[in-house]
Chain A
């Protein structure tokens, strides 16, 4: 049975460094949440805290109705940033071993291993030692180890790093499938475009505390309105600069990107554009997640 993972007021210091400084957020069941932040923001410490791998000065992590315990953690799947598998152990045997550590019977672990290595296109390498696999296949093997016990919740640190486009598609499809099955997923990545495609919502942290959170759609349309305008045979933005409350963000290649103050009516901008020439393109611009991230962590 899946539930919401709630992180509430986490505090963790390493000497004088505040790795976590009152961090709070939630990951509901059946939702894929991007966990973003610059290097050293506290993402890995947060993930480790969920699994009890670091002590906390303050704060609580709850799963469902109460603080998370060891038995509940065993029903989670974990893929740490620094990949960890036994180099000299065969792939299938290793995935099965992790399944058993998560409480599966030998029979179930064997069957689930066969299913996941097939699903992740590793069946041909089932008996190969991990150290003999390519980097991309090691990534897939790590994911198989995290998925083998059919976890209720997944915490994945940079699961897409080092994968080729085919591998990225395969992993994204698996994650979407798990989410459809009701599994909550907290996914950390610096590949913001992929996160934007994959995740429904994001949590952005910096210096150990939350700076922005919300759905990807909300964040893309939040803040001052932006327009993209292209006028035939007009290559400068003089017409736009003449409109009070309009800022020209970018001009070149025959198109301009404009940011509108709250007081500006976009119909006034359209009329000014039409006055300048034949309008070829006029539309709202969605903010990229990378822009939201840069603004939030600036």
Chain B
């Protein structure tokens, strides 16, 4: 009888060979560099763009004069908004309005009683002009109220030293927008690229072992499930080496440039994305390996790849759309419980804060159970199909049939 130790030893030898060959390969190096460049670009470019866009100071016209208290209030408002500004005095309102219309100034403070802007603004449009206009309007309004109340200097100091009281929520409501859209988007794109790459390796790797006939020599020594498990573990280790490199480089880079990717829910998004990379690979790799055992030529691989990739694309596109729109549709919520699409949909729900921990755990459990069932079926298909040569083997031929 072959001992379990010997079985594990042979499986680990297969995994080690697979890992070594993959990591040595040009495809791994090129793919890793491309993913790293993509992640670096996604982190650095928005930061550079923000820095560039915030650099010109807002030009603020002033009609009439500002008291020292009002001037201090306006300066504090600009500081709170993170906007630099330069003040420009106007003799009268008409000239100031003309300057706003002509774009020579961004906004005008009219006699410390109103703020004039060129077009309608909203609080959440994210522009420096909007942030500054709302900040200045609020500050001047507060300052006017203080003056009317005739507060003493001590009272005014006390007022400005105030802190907001804590907010206690009776019911937890999900936010409709992700805390960090960038982190979710970067995670999804990297997840899709990496899963697609390694699942293709699995499919083509099994096909190549079949077409090169080396599988017959290997199976004279190993059990099919050992060979298949070793292969999937080897490629899986390559996946996690690459994922670890991407995560480390991404985190270090984000920390270095001070990117928002590190803030808010991003560690949660990153963790769930890595977990679903693992769960997604664990489930889908068996499917791809079984499919690879049915074919022995590149053109046959291509005909199989299309139906195999459809669930991935549906999951990926739906998840990306949900992140982009800031809300999770019922469709995406359903996809989050289906093993082929959950690796994309569930991290998106995490990014949107549209999932509870038990829903997350339930989806992971469903995928794990499906993985065990799929692995058993895939091993049967592999054993029966991988030694059949001479053309593409139909799935219905091997299910219910004997081994070759």
A102 to B1 Cα, complex, angstroms: 15
B7-42 CB mask vs A (1 if < 8 Å, else 0) is: 000100110010001000000000000000000000
In the assembled complex, the CB of B371 is this many whole angstroms from the nearest CB of chain A, namely: 26
Besides A71-B1, A88-B21, 11 more A-B contacts (Cβ < 8 Å) are: A48-B216, A53-B387, A54-B402, A55-B403, A73-B220, A74-B2, A82-B216, A85-B214, A98-B217, A101-B10, A102-B221
Which residues of A from 87 to 114 have beta carbons under 8 Å from B?
A: 87-89, 97-98, 100-103
Interface assignment of B389: CB less than 8 Å from any CB of chain A: yes
A85 to B215 Cα, complex, angstroms: 8
List the 4 closest pairs (A to B, CB-CB), nearest first: A84-B213, A84-B214, A51-B220, A82-B213
Would you give 17 A-B contacts (Cβ < 8 Å), ordered by A? A53-B220, A53-B387, A53-B404, A54-B403, A69-B1, A71-B2, A78-B216, A78-B217, A80-B213, A82-B213, A82-B216, A84-B215, A87-B212, A97-B17, A98-B217, A98-B221, A102-B221
Interface assignment of A237: CB less than 8 Å from any CB of chain B: no
Interface assignment of A83: CB less than 8 Å from any CB of chain B: yes
A87 to B212 Cα, complex, angstroms: 7
Q: By the criterion CB–CB under 8 Å, are A84 and B13 in contact?
A: no
Return the contact of B6 from the options A48, A80, A85, A103 (Cβ within 8 A).
Answer: A103
Q: By the criterion CB–CB under 8 Å, are A78 and B220 in contact?
A: yes
Interface assignment of B193: CB less than 8 Å from any CB of chain A: no
> Which of B208, B212, B213, B389 is packed against the most chain A CB atoms within 10 Å?
B212
Q: Which residues of A contact B389 (CB under 8 A)?
A: 82
Interface assignment of B219: CB less than 8 Å from any CB of chain A: yes
Q: Which residues of B contact A87 (CB under 8 A)?
A: 208, 212
Contact A101:B218 (CB < 8 A) given known A53-B404, A71-B6: yes
Q: Which residues of A contact B263 (CB under 8 A)?
A: none
Secondary structure at chain A's binding surface: helix, strand, loop or mixed?
Answer: loop
Q: Which residues of A contact B216 (CB under 8 A)?
A: 48, 53, 78, 80, 82, 84
Q: Which residues of B contact A48 (CB under 8 A)?
A: 216, 387, 404
In the assembled complex, the CB of A84 is this many whole angstroms from the nearest CB of chain B, namely: 4
Q: Which residues of A contact B222 (CB under 8 A)?
A: 101
Q: Which residues of A contact B21 (CB under 8 A)?
A: 86, 88-89
In the assembled complex, the CB of A87 is this many whole angstroms from the nearest CB of chain B, namely: 6
Q: Which residues of B contact A238 (CB under 8 A)?
A: none
In the assembled complex, the CB of B293 is this many whole angstroms from the nearest CB of chain A, namely: 14
Interface assignment of A298: CB less than 8 Å from any CB of chain B: no
Interface assignment of A258: CB less than 8 Å from any CB of chain B: no
Interface assignment of B394: CB less than 8 Å from any CB of chain A: no
Interface assignment of A116: CB less than 8 Å from any CB of chain B: no
Q: Which residues of B contact A78 (CB under 8 A)?
A: 216-217, 220
Q: By the criterion CB–CB under 8 Å, are A84 and B217 in contact?
A: yes
Q: Which residues of B contact A98 (CB under 8 A)?
A: 217, 221
Interface assignment of A70: CB less than 8 Å from any CB of chain B: yes
A52-88 CB mask vs B (1 if < 8 Å, else 0) is: 0111000000000000011101101011101111111
Q: Which residues of A contact B218 (CB under 8 A)?
A: 84, 101
Return the contact of A85 from the options B212, B223, B403 (Cβ within 8 A).
Answer: B212
Q: Which residues of A contact B215 (CB under 8 A)?
A: 84
> Which of A69, A85, A86 is packed against the most chain B CB atoms within 10 Å?
A86
A290 to B6 Cα, complex, angstroms: 45
Which residues of A from 172 to 210 have beta carbons under 8 Å from B?
A: none
In the assembled complex, the CB of A147 is this many whole angstroms from the nearest CB of chain B, namely: 13
Q: Give the residue name and chain of the B residue nearest to A85 (CB).
A: B214
In the assembled complex, the CB of B285 is this many whole angstroms from the nearest CB of chain A, namely: 20
Q: Give the residue name and chain of the B residue nearest to A73 (CB).
A: B220
